[in-house]
């Protein structure tokens, strides 16, 4: 036993050492100017605008993660190594012209792609020319003692081009007045401030749902910077499709300065690729054996929106899920499945972009890995507790789903062993993090084990969180009596 423990400790030590050797990667965006390309022969003649990512410095030589835009809209990513002495823009435009972006050649216009496997044959249509028709929207940000990050998020939200929206900040179980002071002193009447004394992300989101005025409720986090068209792109599909209950968007890294940030993004981060997709419970996708229970494939809570009447009809989010509870997470996944289970569609669009500040340290990744595992099984427990009628469907899908998961796991482990660290001399064609995913750095076994432990804990954590919510009124009453 002692020998096995020593071997495991040595393995973890080596994993951490490899982790610490991961070098920073610059973040930038390249907006291609097609009017300068002189034709459709693949030549861009230097056309385009190269900008650093949010909070980043101008691009120099070295590794760089690039969001490629066409006409302002995200279309792909590059993971490139800019040679010393080269002009970064010219070099990166050349890579884009040669088709090194994760979605393939980004400079050649063409007909829209056909439906993705499992996508409904009646996808959300593109909006007509002219101003994009959008519903009135409430943006909800739940936060707790992170005023500095929140300020950046609010600045980006107030710069949105959406014509009809409000912003609600939900201060969750605050211990200081920092968030209240920020909102009331800097943002005055442009942002509404409410408090939610019960800790938990789902509880805070439900507080936002209760006070929202918009036809659609959009949610994002306090550690993002939203692209100016994020809200318009995220909410426009609701106008185009009356059956749509939920929409999600693209999430890319704001910074890749620490080993933790680079490692997470090299394994996909929060990105779901650059192909729009509509999930329809009346036409289940053939490539999702556990649909709709594979909610992690649909998007993440940092960029999601719901039709208000639909979200309220399903009871909002389960208050025993989410960060800040014993369940550790799963509130967003619960919302996705509840909406789909009622027969509504869910649409993912890569055009709705937020830049997310990933966790920065090894300890953060350990906490995140355990929390992801716990949140996954906690939300599944919540779904089956609140909708027990879904249990037969879940059990029927489970064998195929487990076989599918085993194939994916085997493929991931094989690829991780076979790929060296670092970016290539030019770019990993089809393998940039947003692509999804390049796996340039092996995923540490320590983090996988923590995620599995979290999965075992999730149902217990969820039940403990439910019990804590039931006991809270009695505890508050006793406290008032004293």
Q: What average pLDDT does the structure give for the chain?
A: 84
The percentage of the chain sitting over the pLDDT mark of 90, rounded to a whole number, equals 64
C-alpha–C-alpha distance, residues 441 and 336, integer Å = 31
Do 205 and 317 touch, CB atoms closer than 8 A? yes
Span 339-343, average pLDDT: 96
| Residues in the chain, overall count | 482
Is 36's pLDDT higher than 80? no
- Looking at the chain, the number of H-run helices and the number of E-run strands are 12, 13
Residue 255 burial (10 A CB sphere; 0-12, 13-18, 19+): buried
Instruction: Give me the DSSP letters along 272-297.
Output: --S--EEE-TTS--TT-TTTTS-GGG
For strands 224-226 and 277-279, give the pairing. Answer: unpaired
Residue with tokens 């595992």: 373
Is 1's pLDDT higher than 50? yes
CB atoms within 10 A of CB 96: 24
Do 109 and 40 touch, CB atoms closer than 8 A? yes
100 vs 248, which has greater pLDDT?
Answer: 248
Structure tokens at 241: 């499709």
Which range has the worst mean pLDDT, 3-7, 30-34, 163-167? 3-7
Structure tokens at 46: 């230097």
Q: Which residue, 440, 430, 439, 434, is CA-closest to 99?
A: 430
Q: Which residue, 363, 255, 250, 320, is CA-closest to 460?
A: 320
400 vs 420, which has greater pLDDT?
Answer: 400
List pLDDT tens digits, range 109-147: 223 334 433 444 344 455 455 678 999 999 999 999 999
Is 7's pLDDT higher than 80? no
Query: Looking at residue 436, what is its pLDDT?
Result: 39
């Amino acid at each position: 036993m002692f020998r096995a423990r020593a071997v495991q400790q040595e393995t973890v030590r080596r994993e951490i050492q490899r982790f610490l050797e991961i070098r920073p990667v610059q973040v930038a965006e390249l907006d291609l100017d097609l009017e300068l390309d002189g034709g459709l022969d693949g030549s861009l003649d230097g056309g385009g605008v190269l900008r650093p990512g949010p909070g980043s410095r101008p691009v120099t030589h070295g590794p760089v993660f690039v969001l490629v835009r066409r006409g302002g809209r995200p279309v792909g990513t590059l993971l490139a190594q800019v040679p010393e002495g080269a002009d970064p823009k010219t070099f990166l435009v050349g890579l884009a012209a040669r088709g090194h972006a994760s979605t393939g050649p980004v400079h050649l216009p063409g007909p829209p792609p056909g439906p993705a496997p499992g996508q409904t044959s009646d996808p959300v249509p593109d909006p007509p020319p002219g101003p994009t028709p959008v519903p009135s929207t409430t943006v909800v940000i739940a936060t707790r003692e992170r005023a500095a990050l929140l300020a950046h998020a609010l600045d980006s939200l107030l710069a949105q081009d959406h014509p009809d929206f409000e912003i609600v900040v939900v201060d969750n179980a605050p211990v200081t007045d920092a968030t209240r002071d920020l909102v009331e002193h800097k943002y005055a009447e442009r942002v509404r401030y409410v408090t939610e004394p019960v800790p938990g992300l789902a509880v805070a989101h439900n507080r936002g749902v209760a006070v929202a005025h918009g036809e659609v409720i959009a949610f994002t986090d306090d550690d993002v910077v939203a692209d100016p068209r994020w809200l318009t792109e995220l909410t426009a599909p609701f106008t185009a499709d009356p059956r749509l209950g939920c929409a999600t968007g693209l999430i890319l890294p704001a910074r890749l300065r620490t080993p933790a940030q680079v490692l997470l993004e090299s394994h996909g981060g929060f990105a779901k690729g650059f192909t729009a997709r509509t999930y329809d419970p009346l036409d289940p996708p053939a490539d999702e054996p556990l649909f709709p229970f594979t909610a992690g494939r649909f998007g993440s809570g940092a960029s999601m929106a719901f039709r208000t009447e639909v979200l309220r009809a399903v009871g909002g989010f389960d208050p025993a899920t989410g960060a800040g509870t014993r369940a550790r997470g799963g509130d967003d996944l619960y919302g996705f499945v509840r909406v789909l289970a009622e027969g509504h569609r869910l649409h993912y669009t890569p055009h709705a972009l937020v830049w997310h500040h990933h966790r920065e340290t090894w300890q953060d990744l350990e906490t995140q890995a355990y929390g992801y595992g716990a949140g996954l099984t906690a939300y599944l427990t919540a779904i089956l507790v609140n909708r027990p009628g879904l249990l037969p469907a879940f059990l029927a899908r489970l064998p195929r789903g487990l076989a599918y998961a085993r194939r994916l796991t085997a493929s991931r482990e094989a690829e991780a062993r076979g790929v060296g660290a670092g970016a290539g001399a030019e770019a990993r064609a089809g393998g940039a993090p947003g692509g999804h995913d390049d796996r340039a750095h092996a995923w540490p076994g320590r983090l996988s084990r923590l995620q599995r432990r979290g999965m075992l804990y999730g149902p217990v954590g969820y039940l403990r969180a439910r019990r804590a919510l039931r006991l809270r009124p009695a505890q508050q009453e006793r406290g008032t009596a004293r």
